[in-house]
Structure formats: structure tokens, C-alpha cells
Structure 1
Amino acid sequence: MLILLPPSEGKSTPSRGKPLDLAALSSPELTPAREQVLEALVALCADDPVRAAEVLGLSPGQADLVLRNAGLREAPTARADRIYTGVLYDALDVESLSAAAKRRATSRLGVASSLFGLVRMGDRLPSYRLSGDATLPDLGPVAGVWREALPDVMAAAIGRGLFVDLRSGMYANFWRPGPELTKRTATVRVLHEHNGTRKVVSHFNKATKGRIVRALLEDGADPRTPTALAATLERLGWTVEVGAPGKAGTQLDVVVGEL
């Protein structure tokens, strides 16, 4: 099973650690694409900070993020599970998982990254800022780079197991499963039900997804189909409604009343 998470916009900044080594990251087949995106981002931020802020959608008060990007090659790194922060990652809380669940996190979790394509929890990364909808000078949309580079890597990462796609729409544009994988693809939507009305609320969505992933890692179940995943989640205490299979896989609606 591969559970693919969205990255967080906010990231922790390591104070010490080895500098970035692209060759040491998982999925080494992505090294050329990673080098392309890294070079374009670093050059933009080092050569033209004002334009970089515009391209990256940053305010004047976020100039430090441009400076941070300019120094990515020399910046200290830490494990990805310590770099990514925010509601989903706080709820997942990898650091407090049991030893067995941490091992499962290393093998079963991935992050869709605009800078690195596919990231695993043990990969050592610097703190960076680059949105999935960014278009870099002399490179173009980063999504286009990953649409070309990711298909074989993702197919190998999923293997014969289940693909659980928790990405937001922006990062889903990097790669979509083909017909051969859709029967083994589950997407998860979290619906907040209040007074008989259901709606998607960003905070509930992210926090619940983090808790779902945490529970799956601790439980150790390895469902092979979307319906088996739904049954596992129900056993773990969630209310789940299974949609009809579609081009993006089978959507599972997890209905929650309170956070």
C-alpha cells in the first residue's frame, strides 16, 4: 500500500544537519528532474529576489523564504517527517508512533512534492517554499516536469498494492493513475455533518486524514482494494460511504460530526 500525502505549505527549518544530497534521496530515477527544478528555483531566488517573490506568491514580509530558497544547496536537512508541518502532519504525529508503525510509515507513506516529486519519510530535505502551481523561468510549470517524470516511479512505488490518494487537487495534477491502477486507487474525502448538512471543511479534512493515516499505520492492516480499505476504516471507528469507481479511482467519504 502506498498512501500519498500532500505537502505542507509551512515547514520546519533545521538548525543543523547535512546539506541536501539529491543522489541519496529515494526514487533516484527522479534525480535529473529534481536537479532541474532545484536549479531553476535557486537561480531565480538568488538572481532576482523581487521577481522570485512574485513567482512564488510571497508577500514583502516573506522575503526570508526567498533567501532560504536561494541557499537550498547548502542548507541543513532533516527527515521529511520532521520537515513537513501543519494540521495533517500534527494529527499524524509520526514522532509518537510505535516502533512498528514508524517502520510502516517509512515504507507506506509518500509526499507529493513540487521540488522533489515523490518524497519518502526518511528522505533528508531542507526547508523550502514552492507551490505545486508555480511556473519557474526557463523551466515552465513544475507540474509539467512531474507529469513527465513520475509515471514509472509511481507505478513502481505502488506495485501490486493499494494506492490511497490523499493529495489536494493541485498536487493531483502532478500524476494521475492510469486505467490499470484505478481499480486499486482510493481517494478520501472528509465530510463534516452538522444539523443534517454535510460539507467539506479544510481543517476537518486535514486533521481527519492525519488521524486516518495514523490509525492505519498503528493497526498494520494492508487492504488491497478500496472496499477493503473502507471496511478497515469502519472497523477502526469511522463512518465511511463508498462511491462508484471512476477515472480517479473509488472515492471514500468519511463522515465526521466533531473534530
Structure 2
Amino acid sequence: MLVLLPPSETKAEGGSGPALDLAALSFPDLDPVREKLVSALVDLAADVPASLAALGLSERQSDEVRRNTELRQSPTVPALSRYTGVLYDALDVAGMKRAERGRAGGRLAVASALFGLVRPDDLVPSYRLSASSAVPGVGPLGALWRPALGPVLAGLDGLVVDLRSGPYAALAKIPDAVTVQVVSEQVGGRRQAVTHFNKAHKGKLARALATAPREPGNLAGIVRIATKAGLRLERTSDRGFELVV
């Protein structure tokens, strides 16, 4: 089973790992696109106003451009320690026991606008690029990533639980992936999509699936793990679920 997480706009600073080595990342078929994007971001970072416009940032976020300036030289950390925010707080990697962290390392992957797809222990620097960015000379990221990322995602073995947000899911589709929508149940049984706390609930589900002693082999197994973790996961279609909160 693979649980595919969205990245986060916010990222931890610093690190103690060596400088970025694209050849050391998982999924080497993605390296040509990675190299193109890294080069384009570093070049773009030389022009701060253009970077702010391309990345959808305000002048107060100019420090984010510095991250891209130093992409090739800055220290790295494992991907699961680099990404921060609500979903990753709920995932709580730091609170995992050693055995749980080992299982999570084999069951999780993070979608990335810059790297396409990375494993938890892949060493990545801090950077700023979102799926909705349009980098000059590169264009829409979906058009760039789809030819390379699509075949990689299609080749993933076993169950794939796709927890990516819309812009990242649009970079490339995953055939037969399990999808999850977070909903709240209103008076009378009517359900509506949860927006504000969506990521926190997906983080809880990801943690349950990633750390369970036994990896689920089918959809019923996913439900059992979620239920044991106190989560209400209900099947709504052939490969679709609602996480009711």
C-alpha cells in the first residue's frame, strides 16, 4: 500500500544533510523534469519581483525567494521532516515509535511540484513552488509533469490511497487510486465537504494507515484500520470513501 500525501506551502528551515542530489531521490525517471525545474527556479530567483509574481507571493514573503536562490547549496532533511503544517502536525512523525516510523517510510510518499514524488527519507532542501505556479520558460506544471509523472504513478504496485489536494492531483492521475473526501454530517443526515480542517483529518488517516502493524491488502482492510484509530470511514463508490467528522 502507498499513501500519497500533498506537500505543504510551509516548510521547516535548515537541516544537517548534504546539498541536494537529484540522483539520490526515489523515482529516478522524474530526474529530467526535476533538473529542469530546479534550474528554472534558481534562475528565476535572481529576479525577486518576477519570482514573487510567478510564485504568487507578496513582498512580505521575499524570504521565500531566498530559499530558491540556495536550492542547490542549502542543507537537506528527510522529506517528512521538511514539510510542515496542519496535515503533518496530525501525521506527527516525531511522535512515532521506531517501528512505526519504519513502516511509514515504506508506505508514504509526498507529491511535490518541484520533485514530482518523493519518499519519506529522500533528502530535500527548503524551497517554494506550488502546483499552481507558472514558472517563466516552463509554463503550467501539469503540462510539464504529466508525461513523466503519469507513467510513474500508473506503475505503483498495490493499493494507492490518494490524499493529494486538487492542484497536485491534477499534475497526473493515478489509475484505480482510492480517494477520500472529508465531510461533516449535518442535522438530518446531510453531508457537506469539510474545508478548514480537511488536512488535519487526512493527516490522522494517513498516520493510522502508515503505522498500522499489518498493512491492508484491500479496501475492507483500510476501513478496519481507520475504525480502530477512531475514524469513521465509509465507502461511497467503487474506489471512493468519505471520512465523516
TM-score normalised by length of structure 1: 0.88
Q: Return the alpha-carbon distance in structure 1 between the equivalents of residues 5 and 211 of structure 2.
A: 17
2:226 corresponding residue in structure 1: 233
- Map 1:32-71; keep pairs closer than 5 Å: 32-46=32-46, 48-71=47-70
Give the drift of 1:195: 4.0
Q: Does 1:224 align with 2:200?
A: no
Cα gap change, 1:15/1:151 in structure 2, threshold over 3 Å: closer, same or farther?
Answer: closer
Letter in 2 for 1:3: V
Deviations 1:23-44 (A, max 9, x none): 1111122111100111111111
Q: Return the alpha-carbon distance in structure 1 between the equivalents of residues 210 and 29 of structure 2.
A: 27
- Map 1:15-164; keep pairs closer than 5 Å: 15-46=15-46, 48-156=47-155, 158-159=156-157, 161-164=158-161
SS at match of 2:11: coil
Q: Does 1:254 align with 2:243?
A: yes
Deviations 1:74-113 (A, max 9, x none): 1111111110000010010112112121111111100110
Contact 2:4 2:110 in 1 (8 A): yes
Deviations 1:128-184 (A, max 9, x none): 11010111111111222211111232234x21x101000011000111123xxx1xx
State how many pairs are aligned.
244
- Segments of 5+ residues of structure 1 without an aligned counterpart are none
SS at match of 1:3: strand
Give the drift of 1:216: 2.0
Contact 1:20 1:125 in 2 (8 A): yes
- Map 1:146-185; keep pairs closer than 5 Å: 146-156=145-155, 158-159=156-157, 161-178=158-175, 182=176, 185=177
Q: Return the alpha-carbon distance in structure 1 between the equivalents of residues 80 and 151 of structure 2.
A: 24
Q: Return the alpha-carbon distance in structure 2 between the equivalents of residues 15 and 166 of structure 1.
A: 27
* Identity level (%): 47
- Segments of 5+ residues of structure 2 without an aligned counterpart are none
